[in-house]
Amino acid sequence: MLGKLSYIGLILLLIGVVCLAVGEVNLGNVKLIQVGVQDTVWSYTLNLTAGRTYMVDIASSDDWGLPFGQGAFDSPQPVNVTMTSPGGDVTSLQAFYLGMPSTSPYYRVGTPPTIVDVRYQNVDDTALRVEIPSSEIRFMARQTGPYTVRVLQAGLWSKQPPDYITFYEEVAPNRETYSLLALGGGAVGTFGGATFVASLFRNRGTKHKSARK
């Protein structure tokens, strides 16, 4: 049978697991909060905060979708983008856009192509942390200051700028509370698990001593 210490350890372990799970799940339920937007521009500069995660939406103009609708493109097309960090270093990437041909049952007039893939040529690791591979322009800022996103006209099949460039910040509700809950749950669970295991060995040792007598 389990001893009193074993039950305490098991209860602490279960409490820790529950707290850890609740904290992690809620930290994953992030919301995108718009922090800045500019219409019909080739570049946009915004002050960002270190330690926070952002997503950049470069919305294509209607003109970008015409070749897709006419059947000229049947695969994602690259758009060259640069991101200048506060220190002046430049990260290069290609955002691949895919639109619908007019023959597709999902085609709607005026529906612009959207980003389906993002590929980085070089990353300023001192200012950005990115996920590779990715289907969106998403990064964690490692420096506080102005970040400039620029769409390069070179190689673009249209002379029209993006419809808009928007910065979003990923925000988890009550992030501090759930971070503490996750960290506390991990600590309590670890302590409870160690107590439970230790008590089992202690009980086993006690039984062996009793058997020898």
State pLDDT tens for residues 70-103: 889 989 999 999 999 999 999 999 999 999 888 8
The residues facing 177 across adjacent strands are none
Quickly count: other Cβ atoms within 10 Å of residue 19's Cβ. 21
Confidence class for position 36, pLDDT limits 50, 70, 90: very high
Give the span between the Cα atoms of 113 and 97, in whole angstroms. Answer: 6
d(CA 151, CA 159): 12
For residue 180, the SS3 value is helix
Average of per-residue pLDDT values in the chain = 81
Confidence of residue 1 (pLDDT cuts 50, 70, 90): very low
Asked if the model's pLDDT at residue 118 lies above 60, the reply is yes
SS3 label, residue 201:
helix
Tell me which of 1-10, 11-20, 123-132 is least confident. 1-10
Give the domain ranges of the chain: 4-22+177-212, 30-171
Host H or E run for residue 11? helix 4-28
Dihedral angle, C-alpha 10, 11, 12, 14, nearest 10 °:
90
Mean pLDDT is lowest, of 40-54, 65-79, 166-180, for 166-180
Higher pLDDT, 196 or 97: 97
Give the per-residue pLDDT at 103. 85
pLDDT, average across residues 196-205:
58
At residue 108 the predicted structure's pLDDT band, cuts being 50, 70 and 90, is confident
Considering 3-12, 137-146, 181-190, the range whose residues carry the highest mean pLDDT is 137-146
CATH architecture of the domain with range 30-171: Sandwich (2.60)
pTM: 0.70
In whole angstroms, what is the distance from residue 94 CA to residue 114 CA?
13
Q: What's the average model confidence in pLDDT over 8-17?
A: 61
Q: Which helix (H) or strand (E) covers residue 14, if one does?
A: helix 4-28
pLDDT at 21: 58
